[in-house]
């Protein structure tokens, strides 16, 4: 019998798998690669919501767990996927500058917002009002991370590529049985695929579609991430990742002409040079209306658990939410009430 059967190998699934593994637990991961939101994600981590100049929920705690987690994982996999890179918020007016400096005076935002106005000129970006720098930022190459971790699991016979059959899941006195697999616990980390899950389909998981580009822009000389209405992230070799759109109605992972037009318009608001679209991709982020993850244990079946709803901040949220769920299961450490799925039972 294994300790944990984990369904899904996106950011949520691999975060839980690795934390369980680091704590000496036996695991098996099942995935059919149907959910692509983690792989196509922008991968940015940023402790500030720049639209509203407000702190991301539990930003300090999330960054601390995330940094330790990725440091260990890079050594384990012998690959660099975490890139510490400044995020610059381009200002469009003196008023935006003033709003930035007012926000940087706030106690909770002071550690994250630099008070130095950045006036560096970047080729092909018109920026007469300069930039503000967000501290403790960067991005994770999510496709590289997930592919590398999946390869590690496969090489250690800890991965099964298959679609999960809910009808084959049986509850036992010691946990669960799925076909020939016996486990003490099962963790569902399926992303938007949760809607097919009979144990959790009543939870209010919404889907927010995002579309992104990889563009080639030889005349754009950029070594930082610029964030305005979209982000522009340098990948090297004149390539840049640009995103993202937000669509609350379309639940497919197919790129659209509407998304393409929106991204092109927003890119042209920021850069003045020509660019070529190399790749256009899309995915549905697992989001929740109260902007908190879905973490916890089924009300009736104590061996069935969920880790979902990481939304647009999966890179930051994944490790800390996985750690919280693991400690809740193993040590009965209470979950924060704002992430515990029991908050919807109470309603």
Q: Calculate mean pLDDT across residues 192-212.
A: 92
CATH number at 242 reads: 3.30.9.10
Q: What is the pLDDT of residues 43-97, one digit of tens each?
A: 999 999 988 888 999 999 999 999 999 999 999 999 999 999 999 999 999 999 9
Residue 253 has a pLDDT of 87
Boundary residue ending a domain (270, 287, 304): 287
Given a cut of 80, whether residue 327 has pLDDT beyond it is yes
Please check whether residues 169 and 189 belong to one and the same domain: yes
Residue 55 has a pLDDT of 92
Residue 215 has a pLDDT of 98
Q: Based on the structure, what is the number of domains in the chain?
A: 2
Given a cut of 50, whether residue 347 has pLDDT beyond it is no
Please check whether residues 214 and 107 belong to one and the same domain: yes
**132 lies in which domain range?**
86-137+206-287
Given a cut of 90, whether residue 336 has pLDDT beyond it is yes
pTM of the model: 0.94
Percent with pLDDT over 70 in the chain: 97
Q: What is the pLDDT of residues 117-150, one digit of tens each?
A: 999 999 999 999 999 999 999 999 999 999 999 9
CATH number at 309 reads: 3.50.50.60
Three-class HEC string of the chain? CEEEEEECCCHHHHHHHHHHHHCCCCEEEEECCCCCCCCCCCCEECCEECCCCEECCCHHHHHHHHHHHHHHHHHHHCCCCEEECCEEEECCCHHHHHHHHHHHCCCCCCCCECCCCECCCCCCECCCCCEEEECCCEEECHHHHHHHHHHHHHHCCCEEECCCCHHHEEEECCEEEECCEEEEEEEECCHHHHHHCCCCCCCCEEEEEEEEEEEECCCCCCCCEEECCCEEEEEECCEEEEECCCECCCCCCCCCHHHHHHHHHHHHHHECCCCEEEEEEEEEEEEECCCCCEEEECCCCCCEEEEECCHHHHHHHHHHHHHHHHHHHHHCCCCCCCCECHHHHHC
Asked whether residue 62 is domain-assigned, the answer is no
Residue 272 has a pLDDT of 95
Boundary residue ending a domain (262, 287, 312): 287
Q: What is the pLDDT of residues 207-261, one digit of tens each?
A: 889 999 999 999 999 999 999 989 999 999 999 999 999 998 998 889 999 999 9
Among 34-43, 112-121, 314-323, name the one with the lowest average pLDDT.
34-43
């Amino acid at each position: 019998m294994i300790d944990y059967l984990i369904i899904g190998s996106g950011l949520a699934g691999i975060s839980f798998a690795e934390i369980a593994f680091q704590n000496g637990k036996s695991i098996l991961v099942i995935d059919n690669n149907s959910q692509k939101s983690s792989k196509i994600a922008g991968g940015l981590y940023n402790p500030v919501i720049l639209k509203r100049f407000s702190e991301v929920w539990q930003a300090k705690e999330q960054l601390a767990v995330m940094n330790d987690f990725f440091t260990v994982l890079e050594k384990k996999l012998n690959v660099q996927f975490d890139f510490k890179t400044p995020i610059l918020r381009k200002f469009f007016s003196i008023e935006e500058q003033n709003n930035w400096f007012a926000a940087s005076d706030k106690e909770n935002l002071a550690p994250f917002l630099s008070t130095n106005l950045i006036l560096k000129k970047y080729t092909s970006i018109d920026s007469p009002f300069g930039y503000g720098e967000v501290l403790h930022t960067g991005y994770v190459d999510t496709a590289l991370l997930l592919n590398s971790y999946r390869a590690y699991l496969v090489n250690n016979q800890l991965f099964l590529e298959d679609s999960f059959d809910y009808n084959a899941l049986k509850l036992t006195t010691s946990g669960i049985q799925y076909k020939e697999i016996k486990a003490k616990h099962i963790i569902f980390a399926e992303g938007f695929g949760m809607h097919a899950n009979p144990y959790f389909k009543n939870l209010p998981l919404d889907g927010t579609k995002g579309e992104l580009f990889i563009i080639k822009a030889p005349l754009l000389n950029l070594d930082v991430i610029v964030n305005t209405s979209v982000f522009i992230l340098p990948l090297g070799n004149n390539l840049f990742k640009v995103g993202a759109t937000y669509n609350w109605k379309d639940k497919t992972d197919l790129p659209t002409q509407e998304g393409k037009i929106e991204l092109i318009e927003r890119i042209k608001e920021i850069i003045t040079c020509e660019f070529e679209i190399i790749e256009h991709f899309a995915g549905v982020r697992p989001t929740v209306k109260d902007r908190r993850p879905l973490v916890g244990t089924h009300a009736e079946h104590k061996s069935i658990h969920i880790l979902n709803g990481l939304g647009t901040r999966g890179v930051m949220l994944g490790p800390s939410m996985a750690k919280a769920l693991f400690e809740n299961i193993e040590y009965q450490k209470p979950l924060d009430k704002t992430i515990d799925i029991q908050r919807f039972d109470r309603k």
